[in-house]
Structure 1
Amino acid sequence: LAIACGYEDADDLDHLRRDPGFKLACGRLPDTGRDLCSQPTISRWENAPTLREVIRLTYALVDTWCDSYARPPVAVTLDIDDTVDVVHGHQQLALFNAHHDERCFMPIHVYDAATSRPVAIVIRPGKTPSGQEIRGHLRRLIRRIRSHWPNTRLTMRGDSHYGRPEVMAWCEAHDVDYIFGLAGNSVLHRLLEPAADDIRVRRAETQAQSLRGHAEIRYGAKSWKKQRRVA
């Protein structure tokens, strides 16, 4: 309640515990009711949940999203991305991110592509997630979704942050489709040069302002255990 009212610091509770409005909102008489919790008590409660309990809390949003469907869908596409959340102090897990030139968190968001409804949000340090971290988040997320919809076809969609070998291998092993961005490199540029040159020539011949084309190759980076389709 204090956070919702704009009081983020537990120190504020030493005064707000006697506030008539807060006492009334918590079911106590505004004048004669017992005072609410003090700052030390609130701070102990903030640190009481274990990692297991925090993960269980994140499942509440996943369950709510699944319940928003009248029946299990045949297929869903989930968009996953991290966003910058700038901090204004020295909060725990806040790190300096050179790309954004800010001290920040980098929470991961997952949304239903068809409805734009939130599926899961994970607060995390202000750095690019590793492949192992992403794999762990996906493992818990997909397991929870399939406890509701065991037969729904799932597709994950994200930028190159998420196109990690660990993530792609896990998706393939657990029957999860994926569309991930892939960072360019000299090998990819060489393999795609014929298609790119064809587009440049056709654009020059037609004097088009812009021209878009598509190509498909099989590619395997050294860190991959097999080749994969790249479009």
Structure 2
Amino acid sequence: MKTPTMPIVCATIPCCRSSPIRNWPTRSAPSPPSTPTTCCASSSSVVCGDQVRQRGEILLDIDSTDDPTHGQQQLSFFNGGYGQHMYHPMLIFERHTGCLLAARLRPGNASSHARIVPMLLRLVPRLQSAFPAVKIKLRGDAGFALPLLYQFCEFFAIEYVLDIPANCVFKRRAQPRQKQLQRRYRRTQLPQRSFSSFRHRPRSWPRQPRICYKAEHTVAATNLRFLITNCDRPASQVFAFYNDRGECENRSLKPRESPLAE
């Protein structure tokens, strides 16, 4: 099967010009010429320096996606969360440009956060070296609620906002605000929403990060949502900043594969 699009795409990436363009039996099979090193090397060709300097920030959206497999491909494993045999690639996008800066093929049974810190360790120093005056920000879902990632962001002065699962401590801290919304709802019969934050540091964490939360009370149910961050903006703005990452989920591998599937 001929794939004329691939030579055109790879010809624009310096690290691929010296590598032969080959065909493989399936779309979801690993690509031998592409290694973590070459993937990160190609990122420099899609970051426009002038645009980055004008904006003054680089916004990294980290996400994992499912790439279903059919057959006995290497690294194909069953993933209970997705209910299928698959690869579980890791992706790092730049939000403002929509560019895929880094990608890593991982086994189907890999956890959501597996290898994210090594990927960022290859990417972030290069970005900071190229754009020393530019602020780097990072967003990710609850699959990346990892103390090692928080420490990485603090060390490299990255502003991060990550979803974090609720636990009994968080719920207890938010309970007074929840009860307040319940009373207000009974009085007005209108949906209620409130934002707030607190500091929390488990014994295993070296720092005391900020936990922002959103409490809602409607006719259907009471809802709590928590984010962990090192930024000092109001909690409502932190949630607005995080919710914008929903666009990241639309930039998965599937739309990128479709032009080459014919």
Instruction: Give TM-score scaled by structure 2 length.
Output: 0.64
- Between the aligned residues of both structures, percent identity stands at 26
- Can you give the 5+ residue segments of structure 2 that lack an aligned partner in the other structure? 5-21, 25-30, 213-262
Q: Within 1, Cα distance between the matches of 2:81 and 2:37?
A: 32
2:101 partner letter: V
Alignment of 1:156-171 (within 5 A): 156-171=138-153
Deviation at 1:67, TM superposition (A): 2.8
Q: Which amino acid aligns with 2:185?
A: R
1:216 is aligned with what amino acid? S
Structure 1 residue runs of 5 or longer lacking an equivalent are 6-36, 40-45
TM-score after normalising by structure 1 = 0.72
Q: Which has the higher strand share?
A: 2
| Alpha-carbon distance in structure 2 between the residues aligned to 1:160 and 1:223 | 19
Deviation at 1:203, TM superposition (A): 2.3
Give matches, 1:76-91, under 5 Å.
76-91=58-73
Measured after TM superposition, the shift of residue 108 of structure 1 is 1.3
Secondary structure, in 3 states, of the residue corresponding to 1:111? strand
**1:77 alignment partner AA:** L
1:68-147 alignment, distance < 5 Å:
69-70=50-51, 72=53, 73-126=55-108, 127-130=110-113, 133-147=115-129
Cα drift, residue 3 of structure 1:
6.8
Give the one of 190, 203, 210 matched to 2:185.
Answer: 203
Partner amino acid, structure 2, of 1:137: M
Please state how far the C-alpha of 1:212 moved relative to its aligned partner. Answer: 1.9
2:40 partner amino acid: Y
Residues 66 and 148, structure 1, Cα contact 8 Å, conserved in 2: no
For 1:179, give the aligned amino acid.
V
Q: Secondary structure at the match of 1:104?
A: strand
Relative contact order (C-alpha < 8 Å, sep 6+): which is higher? 2
Cα distance change on mapping 1:206 and 1:117 into 2, 3 Å:
farther
After TM superposition, list the pairs within 5 Å mapping 1:1-231 onto structure 2: 2=1, 4=3, 54-67=35-48, 69-70=50-51, 72=53, 73-126=55-108, 127-130=110-113, 133-208=115-190, 210-231=191-212
Could you say if the C-alpha distance between residues 192 and 71 of structure 1 is closer, same or farther in structure 2, counting changes exceeding 3 Å? closer
Note the C-alpha offset of 1:145.
Answer: 1.6
Name the count of aligned residue pairs.
Answer: 188
CA distance in 2, matches of 1:192, 1:94: 42
